[in-house]
Amino acid sequence: MSRLWEKGLPLDERVLRYTAGEDHQLDARLVDYDVRGSIAHAEMLAEQSLLSKDDCTAICNGLQKLAEDFAAGEWQISLEDEDVHTALETRLTDMIGDAGGRVHLGRSRNDQVLTALRLYLLDVTSEVSESVAGLDEALRELKQRQGDIDLPGSTHMQHAMPSSVTLWAGGFQEAFADATDGLTSARRRLSKNPLGSAAGYGTPGLPIDRDATTEKLGFSETQSPVTAVQLSRGKGESGLLFELALLMQDLGRLASDLLLFYTQEFRYIELAADVTTGSSIMPQKRNPDVLELVRGATATAQACLQECMMIAAKLPSGFQRDLQRMKAPVFRSIDLTIESVDIMAHLISKLEFLPQNIELGEELYSTEEAYELVRSEGIPFREAYGRIAARYSK
């Protein structure tokens, strides 16, 4: 095994395990994106006469075959590979010979991994948005089924004013629409092409065309100057994680409402039996574990954001290996968010409100009564407020 940085010197096995960390496992989701970046880079090198057309064809075909074989489970990234980049280039060279060793001209693992990661994160924003759309659809269908059911609206955990299933669900729909807008905004920092910045200082004397790979890969712009690339690491990731944390916060509040509605004291809703669990000791229990776990997941999403931001905080300019540790919290937040949004959409699609258990006392209409006094008698609102308030003074 020859890693991309290999110089023929020995490497302590413990150092390999520690420095490679989880990358050989985490990088599985980056294979297709590293292939895309490498193909675009090879094509650009050929266009700049830095790579022969035959070598370019062999590289591109070889990389596509490796991606297909990986998807088919025919090979995996091992600890000895260290990361996706070594895994692909080593296998490519074994497959096509010396031409495989020419693909790395004009780039470093630093810009290579960031290119693959940004392409992946751009796709993730779309994937999360699709999940949110599914949740919005579940809430929309709930409004169609039971939107006309009245609910007591609360402030300070006390009954306050009349509400309804339509108003309650609609508020969360707007929150999730805002989350989708936030995900779109997060794309701005992610859609900058870092490829060609190499280790952070470009490729002096090598006539590469960074704008060409920007166009090939669908980035919005070429990140410039090259020294800005490493300074930007963590910003795009944190921007996305911030939007995921906000989304999970709204999801947690939705779960909290439903947990309250599901208590015996409220009994506003019924959950389908197949989305609840049981107790190992109490035979009568059906537990809303999904809702509790979603509520708890908000803490994980916020922790992932903090971890990512704190890794990059106070680093000097240029690449630092600390940045490798961002992958785990970024991937963890993404996976947890998508899983949580999808399970909530599933749960809500089976949820039923129980109007026979929902009571709205006359006090909920006090504000409406005060407004009616203002309209009918022309008195100031404060006077109308006082009249109604006197009814409840003790």
Residues identified as active-site: 156, 279
Per-residue H/E/C for the chain: CCCCCCCCCCCCHHHHHHHHCCHHHHHHHHHHHHHHHHHHHHHHHHHCCCCCHHHHHHHHHHHHHHHHHHHCCCCCCCCCCCCHHHHHHHHHHHHHHHHHHHCCCCCCHHHHHHHHHHHHHHHHHHHHHHHHHHHHHHHHHHHHHHCCCEEEEEECCEEEEEEEHHHHHHHHHHHHHHHHHHHHHHHHHHCEECCCCCCCCCCCCCCCCHHHHHHHHCCCEECCCCHHHHHHCCHHHHHHHHHHHHHHHHHHHHHHHHHHHHCCCCCCEECCHHHCEECCCCCCCEECHHHHHHHHHHHHHHHHHHHHHHHHCCCCCCCCHHHHHHHHHHHHHHHHHHHHHHHHHHHHHCCEECHHHCCCCHHHHHHHHHHHHHHHHCCCHHHHHHHHHHHHCC
* Paired residues of 352 in beta bridges: 270
Torsion of Cα atoms, 23 then 127 then 115 then 88, to 10°? 50
Chain CA centroid to CA 148, Å: 34
Q: Quote the CA–CA distance of 31 and 76 in Å, as a whole number.
A: 10
